[in-house]
Structure 1
Amino acid sequence: MLPALYVSKTGLAAQDINLTTISNNLANVSTTGFKRDRAEFQDLLYQIKRQPGAQSTQDSELPSGLQLGTGVRIVGTQKNFSAGSLQTTDQPLDLAVNGRGFFQVMQPDGTVAYSRDGTFHLDSNGQIVTANGYALEPAIVVPAQAQTFTVGQDGTVSVTLAGANATSQVIGNLQTADFVNPSGLQAVGSNLFLETASSGAPQVGTPGLNGFGTTQQNTLEASNVSTVEEMVNMITTQRAYEMNSKVISTADQMLQYVTQNL
């Protein structure tokens, strides 16, 4: 009966982590560009009491043997990079990647981070930055006398300057990055991801070409969290937690019976 206590204990711990993952998804249901996580379970080592296929006699063998599991654990969380819904806004600095790709953001330490959050702003120098003030990479500076700001589907950034002969002028080209394994990126918060050995090196290219998604102006990508799906997952997790708790209660009652009657 003692092994049952430890096995169910691993079940409680795993479901607790699973609930934490679900709650983080629900907490970020309104986070721009957020990608939901999914907990991945794996059974623990088995105690082999009788080896499957071992000889029971000279002419016969065990068909299945005796294998006792020792519980479960969560070995990882996988990011689901399916696209969220695109929402139209009236802000010219709101951008979204329609398809594969990430915006490149220069961090204060000089390293490049990657994001699906296209909520950009202008700093005091007219440079396009994130909500935390991190500059878009490659850097794009909007002139102070610009009357209009336009981003094409291929990432071409142009403005119209004030004057009698107002003409469109290209001031930069926005490039996006993609990865062989986006799920291997390291999430660091603030809607940013970092390159890892698992994600592979970034492949930088022009939006709309060679499999890269196009850039959409006046648009933001919503979180890909489905509240209905997460609520169902939460109920399932709660029931699994209750069943593991019931196992502990039952094992305790059996131990109580042994101690009181023997």
Structure 2
Amino acid sequence: MRIPYSISKSGLKAQQNKLDTIAHNIANSNTAGYKQKTVSFRELLVNDINEQDALLSGNVENLGLNRGVLSSPNGTDFSTGSLIQSEENLSLSVNGEGFFGVQDGNGNLVLTRDGNFTLDGNKQIVNSRGQVVETNLTIPADAWPEGEVQIGSSGEIFIQTEEGQVSVGVIPLYNVENPQALIPIGDNNFTIAPDQADTLINSVDNPAAFGTMLTGVYENSNVDLAQSLTDMIMAQRAYSLNAQVTKSTDEIYSLINQFT
């Protein structure tokens, strides 16, 4: 493929990747605990141009021609999203570092910032997707006294009875040494990369490494709609410009072919 076509094709593909990522972020702007994805761009192979290749001005320095651009999702923005007041007194949000642990469909531990918790019929604390939240219980759920289940700012689970509060366990927080190494697996869940498994810590053993919990609120997505729409407009314009380059290149080659 001729270089001009190759460059504009790579630009179209790179901007399409960015548009797809932005659209995914916008679609999840009201999803509890969602963390927006980010996109990075980089040049492909750059060929230096010297006086043997073209007539250059004496003021030109470090001139080169690259083979296009490549874009790819390069990480997750783990900044805190807005807080939503909840009607559920079990809802939690993390003020600082840390993730809640929940069980996936196979019973494996996965991490999430979705703290929109409720109590199911089996007295298990679950999130908005019905996934069971990891807890360290000191009293089994089937032995809990009658009363209202509440959660404190330290993650302590207790039952408010007529006689007073009875502590029945705690909800721990989890984290790894490098959160960017966490692998998104959908449903706002992240799994731990194999090379990060040994760095997993929890707030029970390392309380100083974690933030506190806010009760009665849960964390919404951290997508800034205004910024996302601005980024989408810029990506659309860049896509259109690359399409125009392709069209212009085709017209130029058509003229050249008429004289050959």
* TM-score between the two structures when normalised by the length of structure 1: 0.86
**Is the contact between residue 49 and residue 67 of structure 1 (CA under 8 Å) also seen in structure 2?**
yes
Aligned to 2:56: none
Q: 1:185 to 1:142 in 2, by over 3 A?
A: farther
Aligned to 1:172: 169
Structural mapping, 1:197-212, within 5 Å: 197=194, 201-206=199-204, 209-212=207-210
Q: Which runs of 5+ in 2 are unaligned?
A: 52-59
Aligned to 2:216: 218
Shift of 1:207: 10
Structural mapping, 1:89-238, within 5 Å: 89-138=86-135, 140=137, 141=141, 146-161=146-161, 166-197=163-194, 201-206=199-204, 209-238=207-236
Q: Distance in 1 between matches of 2:150 and 2:142?
A: 11
Moved more, 237-246 or 132-141: 132-141
* 1:73 matches 2:78: no
Q: Distance in 2 between matches of 1:207 and 1:120?
A: 23
Larger helix proportion of the pair:
2
**Cα displacement string for residues 99-137 of structure 1 (whole angstroms, at most 9, x for unaligned residues):** 110001122323210010012222322111223332211
**Is the contact between residue 207 and residue 213 of structure 1 (CA under 8 Å) also seen in structure 2?**
no
Aligned to 1:12: 12
Q: 1:235 to 1:143 in 2, by over 3 A?
A: farther
Q: Which runs of 5+ in 1 are unaligned?
A: 52-62
**Is the contact between residue 9 and residue 244 of structure 1 (CA under 8 Å) also seen in structure 2?**
yes
* TM-score between the two structures when normalised by the length of structure 2: 0.87
**Is the contact between residue 154 and residue 215 of structure 1 (CA under 8 Å) also seen in structure 2?**
yes
Moved more, 102-111 or 217-226: 102-111
Q: Distance in 1 between matches of 2:136 and 2:130?
A: 12
Shift of 1:221: 0.5
Q: 1:11 to 1:231 in 2, by over 3 A?
A: same
Q: Distance in 1 between matches of 2:32 and 2:129?
A: 14
**Is the contact between residue 136 and residue 172 of structure 2 (CA under 8 Å) also seen in structure 1?**
no
Aligned AA for 1:245? Answer: A
Aligned AA for 1:92? Answer: N
